Amino acid sequence: MRTRARPKRNSKRRLHPELTVERRRALAQCVKYVGSPLHKRNPGDFGLTPPVAARPGKSLCDDVSIFERDKAQVLLREGVQAGLVSRDADEGFPRHIWMVHEGRVIEARCDNMEAGTYHGYPLEADDPMADAVKREWSRRQAE
């Protein structure tokens, strides 16, 4: 079986420089984790259709031990509350939200800009965005 090469990284991803506390709180109340079967080997309690459809070349939530929707939702909100969102977060839902779980960076991508629904996946360690997010996560947690 031939495996696909991992898609090219999005070099346009940028962290928002400083989202206001009020905006963080408002977004954290509205974002919703829905998941994607493309990033699952184990369906957990996500209720996805199909339950799993892991594709070669896709990073998997299983690799960071996230098997419960509630845990994914908490992590999504933590990323927003830390302000680790893409630059387009001033109005509407940000395209990306990042968080750190057990030392790994997870990127959540918006599936529906009107509903604010997201699916997530761990970033590869050699992705430059992973280093940027880890540095910023540590800095903002220390504040």
Residue 86, pLDDT above cutoff 70:
yes
Distances (CA, A) of 8 to 29, 43, 77, 86, 121: 32, 26, 27, 18, 15
pLDDT bracket for residue 68 (50, 70, 90): confident
Given this model, what pLDDT does residue 94 score?
96
Considering the entire predicted model, what is its pTM? 0.83
pLDDT bracket for residue 67 (50, 70, 90): confident
**DSSP one-letter code for 5:** P
Strands 117-122 and 104-112: antiparallel
In angstroms, rounded to a whole number, what is the distance separating the alpha carbons of residues 139 and 143? Answer: 7
